[in-house]
Amino acid sequence: MSAGVAYPDLGAYRRFVVAFSGGKDSLAALLYLLELGVPADAIELHHHDVDGRGSSFMDWPCTAGYVRALAAHIGVPLYLSWREGGFARELERSSSPTAPVLFETPGGIGTAGGSGPAGTRGLFPQTTADLRLRWCSAALKIDVLAAAIRNQARFHDSPTLVVTGERAEESPARARYVPFQPHRTSSRVRIVDHWRPVLDWTEERIWAVIAESLIRPHPAYVLGWGRLSCRTCIFGSADQWATLRHVFPAAFGLVRDREKVSGKTIHRALDVSRRADRGRPYPAALTHPDELAQAGDETWHLPIIMDPWMLPAGAFGDAAGPT
């Protein structure tokens, strides 16, 4: 632990909620909790399904299967949550409320919201740190986890620590994040704190922890992506759009065609086709057929342990993603 940074007393919490994307940073945060002696039966993983359990529009088809396999390997429960209809429904919302949130619980499926004020989207989120314009992060991830916690009485009985994997190296905005603070769901009826344990970690340290565990990284990293966000993330670099167009043409086409319908590009100057024209496909995406097939498959097939473990092509590479 770094000197001079506030850290929680882990013994004060009965439950540890890890917001788990399946990416390297949230995986390292999970492994770090275990290294610090937090028992596996006190940890639960919460994964937000961006596409709302529907067909893949924005996210990697394999991600839910990957996080399920990883949770089973570690021996911790996994709870999925999503906004009904996912990204596609929110994008198309016209004079109607934001859809309700659904979330898995130990006793079944819970629901919250759906009766708010009417509004209209119609435009892709924009590449900005302003979450009012980059609505995907707020509407499909941050607000979804908050709804799941606020609407389960089991979070009232004892203190909970929410753990997330942001790192300062990722952007100047994230470098200003507070490592430890009350969580947005904390109230007079529930004590919930928020810890970012890897905020000051280097990428080198992240990969070292994962290598020691022998856990297979998400296929996106093997194919050349430096960060795990959506497959068609609005922050995608020119090389990422070029790779998508080459190896996932149908997924690329969905975004390209929807961008034309809106009359507004995701990036301020170029549509995704012209972005792709300026990039080159990642060589790794063309030379790992098994990982490429797995990346596009909702059913997880590959071993979750990789022995011998190999650093993926995307490590220390193109770091395009949310800021």
What does the alpha-carbon distance between residue 203 and residue 298 come to, in Å, rounded to a whole number?
Answer: 28
Segment among 113-122, 152-161, 168-177, 314-323 with least mean pLDDT = 314-323
- 322, 134 Cβ separation under 8 angstroms: yes
Tokens of 232: 């068609």
**In-domain check, residue 269:** no
Residue type, 199: L
| Mean pLDDT along residues 203-209 | 98
What does the alpha-carbon distance between residue 231 and residue 9 come to, in Å, rounded to a whole number?
Answer: 37
Instruction: Give the count of domains, the chain.
Output: 1
Place 5 in a pLDDT band, splitting at 50, 70 and 90. Answer: low
Q: Which residue has the higher pLDDT, 17 or 125?
A: 17
- Tens of pLDDT along 211-247? 999 999 999 999 999 999 999 999 999 999 999 999 9
Residue type, 147: A
| Mean pLDDT along residues 307-314 | 97
Evaluate if residue 2 carries a pLDDT over 60. no
User: Residue 320: which of 243, 258, 263 has the closest Cα?
Assistant: 243
pTM across the whole model:
0.94
Using alpha carbons only, give the angle 115, 120, 123 rounded to the nearest 5 degrees.
Answer: 135
**In-domain check, residue 45:** yes
- 135, 121 Cβ separation under 8 angstroms: yes
Segment among 42-46, 88-92, 250-254, 260-264 with least mean pLDDT = 260-264
**In-domain check, residue 78:** yes
Burial of 100 from C-beta contacts in 10 A (0-12 / 13-18 / 19+): middle
Tokens of 167: 């790192």
**In-domain check, residue 127:** yes
Place 193 in a pLDDT band, splitting at 50, 70 and 90. Answer: very high
Average pLDDT, the chain: 94
Using alpha carbons only, give the angle 175, 228, 313 rounded to the nearest 5 degrees.
Answer: 105
Tell me, what's the pLDDT at 6?
65
- Tens of pLDDT along 241-268? 999 999 999 999 999 999 999 888 998 8
- Tens of pLDDT along 63-78? 999 999 999 999 999 9
**In-domain check, residue 280:** no
What does the alpha-carbon distance between residue 85 and residue 139 come to, in Å, rounded to a whole number?
Answer: 12
| Mean pLDDT along residues 297-312 | 97
**In-domain check, residue 254:** no
For residue 44, what are the β-bridge partners? 17
| Mean pLDDT along residues 280-307 | 97
Tell me, what's the pLDDT at 4?
44
- Tens of pLDDT along 133-181? 889 999 999 999 999 999 999 999 899 999 999 999 988 888 999 999 9
Tell me, what's the pLDDT at 235?
92
Domain with 129, as residue range(s), is 10-204
**In-domain check, residue 274:** no
Contacts of 271 (CB under 8 A, 6+ apart): 256, 259, 260, 265
User: Residue 218: which of 13, 1, 28 has the closest Cα?
Assistant: 28
The CATH number linked to 79 is 3.40.50.620
Question: Mutual orientation of helices 249-262 and 238-247 as an angle, nearest 10°?
Answer: 120
**In-domain check, residue 246:** no
